[in-house]
Structure formats: C-alpha cells, structure tokens
Amino acid sequence: MSEEIVQYNFALPGNPRYQPKGMVDIFGYDNLYVPTARVELAGLDVMAEIGAIPVEDYNLVTPEMRSAILGIRTTIVDDVERKVTRHDIRALVRLIQEILPRPLHRWVHVPFTSYDPLDTGRTMQFVRAHNEVLHPRIREVINILAVLVRKYATTLQIGRTHGQHALPITVGFWLATILGRLLYNAQCMDKFAGGLVGKISGAVGCNNAVEGLNIAKMCGEITFQNRVLGRLGLEPALISTQILPPEPLAYFLFSSEMMSATFGQFGRDGRNLMRSEIAEIGEPFEDGQVGSSTMAQKRNPIIFENLEGTWLRTKSEFGKVLDTMISDHQRDLVGSSLMRDFPIILVNLCSQLDALLRRKEKGAPAFLERLTVNEANCRRNFSMSSKVILAEPFYIALQMAGYTGDAHELINRKAIPICQRKSQSLMLTVLELANTDDELRKAVNNIPQDVFHLLEHPENYVGDASKQAIKIADMAEVCCAKT
C-alpha cells in the first residue's frame, strides 16, 4: 500500500503575496502548534521529574513519540476541533494521547489550562523569530548601511525640509539618520525580546491545581511553573491571570513596528531621491526587470516603494495589539482571534529586511550594497540653490557682526528677491546693498575673514555632517561586533 501523501499548509499570517521563507518554520500555519506541543511535553517531563508520573510509565515515551508530537499539524488540530472537541487545545490533547502509550493519556495537559501552553508557546515563537530571523538580518542591514555611511560621509547633498532646498548636508549624513534610528530600534527590540515571558499558573492564575492537589509540595523549592519554563528557556511573568499580562509582548511588537517605520522612512526618502528630476540615487535594475507594462524607459523605485508600503500595512496591525490590552476579569475570548494576527508585524518586517538583503545569487552583493549615488546629480541639484542657500549664516553673521537692524528681514525681504531676479549670489547682493547702507557696510566689514570665506563657498557650509555620519557608523560597528 502506498504511503499517504501529506499536503502541508505553510502559509504565513497576512497577505499571501508576502511570505518570507525565514518565517515559515516559526509561523507557517502547520507549524503553529509546535511550541504548544513542546510546552505540553515539558509538563509531562516535570510531572515525571517530581514523581507524579510513575517512572515505568514515563519511560514508555520514545524519541519517535516526541518527534511525532512536535509534528502535529495545525490543519489536523483544526479538523479534530471542528468535528469533535469544539476546542483547540482539547483537540491537541486528543492527538497527543493518540501518540502516547495509554498509561500516559491521563497525564497530558495536567495541571495546565489552555493558555499555559498557548501563551507560553506564543512567547517561544516570538523569541525564536527575533533571535533566529530578525536579529541577524537587522545586524546585516546595519553593517551594510554603516559601510555606505562611511563611503558617502563627505559626498555633498542638498538638505531638504518641507520638500524645499534647505541647507547643505552629505549623503552619508542622510544615511546616518536612517542608521541611527535602526540602531535605536534594534536596541529596543533586543531589550523587549529579552523581556518576553511565559506562564504556567492555571485557569485564573492562582496555581489552584498545583497548590490544592499537592503538586507544589512535590516540587519542593523550585516551583512547578519555574521547572516547566526553565526547560523552555523562559522566565515567568511577575504575575498572570489565565493569560499573560499583555505588556511584554506589546512592547516587543511596538519596537518591531518602530523598526518597520524606519525602513518606511528609508523607502520614502529613497523613492523621492529617485525621482527623474532629482535622480540622486538609484536602485539596481536587474536583468529581465521591467519598469512599466507599457513605458519601457521607466526604472521604478520598486523596493523603496515596497518598504514604505509595507510600513503602511504594518502600522494598522498594531491596533489589534492595543485591542488586547484589556480583558474581562481573568480572561475572555475576544482577543483570541486578534492574537492570531500578531505575527503579521514580524512577517512584514522580515519582508522589508529580505528586500534590502536580496541577492541575485548566493555570495553576490545584497540589494542595499548595490544602491548607486549619482554625485554629479547631487552637485547639479545643489547648484540650483547655491546662490541663495547661505541665507541662514549670512543673517546670523551680520547680527553677530553688530548689525542692529533685523538681519533676517533684510535677507528675506531685500536680498533674496534681488538674488532671484538677477540670478546672482547672495554675497554679491549683500555687498551691493552695503554700498547704500552704512550700517550694513560696517557689519559686513566686521565679519571675521574665515566666516566671510565660508559665505563665499556654500559647499563648505555642511556643519558637522561628516563627523556625525562617521560617529553613527562607528556605533553601528560596535553594535554588530557585540552580536
């Protein structure tokens, strides 16, 4: 007789278009009960450890049985739930009992309540997603971005506020503002992932069965909860009801949201800097790639657009997290269905990371490494405003040199309109105005020579942009070296 062909469903929560492979082992649908089953096995182990389960019965458990229990598919649990139990955990318990020898059937799920293995298993999923998938990818992006920051630390770029040319910066400084946010959010994710907790405290959180049925006495100094969670590598919640307190997971998911937002910012900046009339940076355009179904000349900022779009999708998911901040007394089922969508936040974040780290082939440079900066266009765009861009230092220098009038008003109302009308530099315009204004002439003459020289060269008015960029790149290298 031929073996049954098993069809697995490894779809991730969220839109089926976005399915990062790194998350499948953790959040793929048929893998969802793996950590829950692991908690159930840990419970059996502890019950045997404290002498509740007879040794001869516990020794009947084989490695093959454990493997089979950890291989119970979500779709099978669903089927038993729909047809028999109308309860997901009791369905899982039945399936575990079918695998174990009969003497052990009565010990499965003792002394748990549903959300002991469910909430604890969920915590294990999120910890694993962070440690095995997100953390290493985030560090890789940080490392690549730090290299780019150093490379372009002195590359001149016009700064923009409100969509308008503002003051000179450098490309490295712009990238460092993204990198700095990544570093901060990475620290937060690490912190809150490290604060994720489990619970084995029973139906209302008071350990009623453990205390009332003498299981606590059998455990001795190490509590039943700590024994089970210790086997799973988790710390217990400070206190819990039938469910975990929502804050630890909510803070972790919020820090993940903020990381996604930083990539959204990078996407917003990138797609604007790729506009035809700006064209300061460019995405790599792969062999066979198409920019438009009809306009063959186009090179769309597809990755940058997806980075921002994914953030827009992700931010709406956190509302579900906030909706689970309260429950009726010790527990209700209102938040149960919502919590099934929580992994979408991490799935989406992983999609953003994978987009930046995508390689044409193994060993090839990542997408992020292949970004190009068009320094000629940076200079071209800078020159568009170079005649008036030093309005700030001019008015401040005049005030500091003793000009008693309103230098800002002078530059704003008189000098800039002349610059624009005559298409001449602000320096020349101020000198012309000084010919008919004794107070202005005196102030101009009082400007220190080094400042006066700076006012003649707007490309040098970049503040400490390069210094700050290098500082952030140094911080990034320290961060990556620690992991």
CATH, domain 33-110, list 1.25.40, 2.60.40, 1.10.275, 1.10.10: 1.10.275
Q: Where are the domains of the chain?
A: 33-110, 116-287+296-379, 390-460
Residue 235's SS3 state is: strand
Q: Which fold has domain 116-287+296-379?
A: Fumarase C; Chain A, domain 2 (1.20.200)
Burial of 303 (0-12, 13-18, 19+ CB in 10 A): buried
Phi, psi of 296 (to 5 degrees): -65, -15
pLDDT at 199 over 80: yes
Residue of 301, 358, 327, 431 whose CA lies nearest to 140: 358
> 308-329: buried (b, 16+ CB within 10 Å) or exposed (e) per residue?
bebbebbbebbebbeebeebee
What pLDDT was estimated at residue 143? 96
Q: Which residues pair with 281 in a beta bridge?
A: 373
Mean pLDDT, residues 264-280 taken together: 95
CB 10 within 8 A of CB 29: yes
pLDDT at 393 over 50: yes
Q: Which two tokens stand for residue 353?
A: 């990371």
User: If pLDDT is split at 50, 70 and 90, which confidence band does 2 have?
Assistant: very low
What pLDDT was estimated at residue 301? 81
Q: Which residues pair with 369 in a beta bridge?
A: none
Mean pLDDT, residues 448-476 taken together: 95
Mean pLDDT, residues 147-172 taken together: 96
Q: Which of 38-42, 180-184, 264-268, 324-328 has the lowest mean pLDDT?
A: 324-328
CA distance 21 to 358: 12
Phi-psi region of 14 (alpha: psi -120 to 50; beta: other; left: phi over 0): left
CA distance 173 to 150: 9
CA distance 141 to 145: 6
What angle in degrees, to the nearest 10, is found between the helix axes of 391-400 and 438-446?
A: 90
CA distance 18 to 25: 15
Q: How many CB atoms lie within 10 A of CB 474?
A: 13
Alpha helices in 129-238 (DSSP H): 135-151, 171-194, 208-212, 215-219, 224-232
Residue of 59, 47, 58 whose CA lies nearest to 214: 47
281-300: per-residue pLDDT in tens?
997 767 666 666 666 666 77
User: If pLDDT is split at 50, 70 and 90, which confidence band does 1 have?
Assistant: very low
What pLDDT was estimated at residue 160? 95
6-49: per-residue pLDDT in tens?
789 999 999 999 899 999 999 999 999 999 999 999 999 999 99
Average pLDDT value for the chain: 94
- Residue owning tokens 């440690």: 131
CB 171 within 8 A of CB 378: yes
More confident call, 171 vs 283: 171
pLDDT at 163 over 80: yes
Question: CA torsion sign, 187 to 189 to 193 to 195?
Answer: positive
Mean pLDDT, residues 99-120 taken together: 97
User: If pLDDT is split at 50, 70 and 90, which confidence band does 439 have?
Assistant: very high
CB 111 within 8 A of CB 201: no
Q: Which two tokens stand for residue 247?
A: 């804050």
Q: Which two tokens stand for residue 420?
A: 């624009």
Phi-psi region of 81 (alpha: psi -120 to 50; beta: other; left: phi over 0): alpha
CA distance 159 to 392: 13
Q: Which two tokens stand for residue 266?
A: 């990078």
pLDDT at 319 over 90: yes
Mean pLDDT, residues 87-97 taken together: 97
Residue 365 DSSP label: P
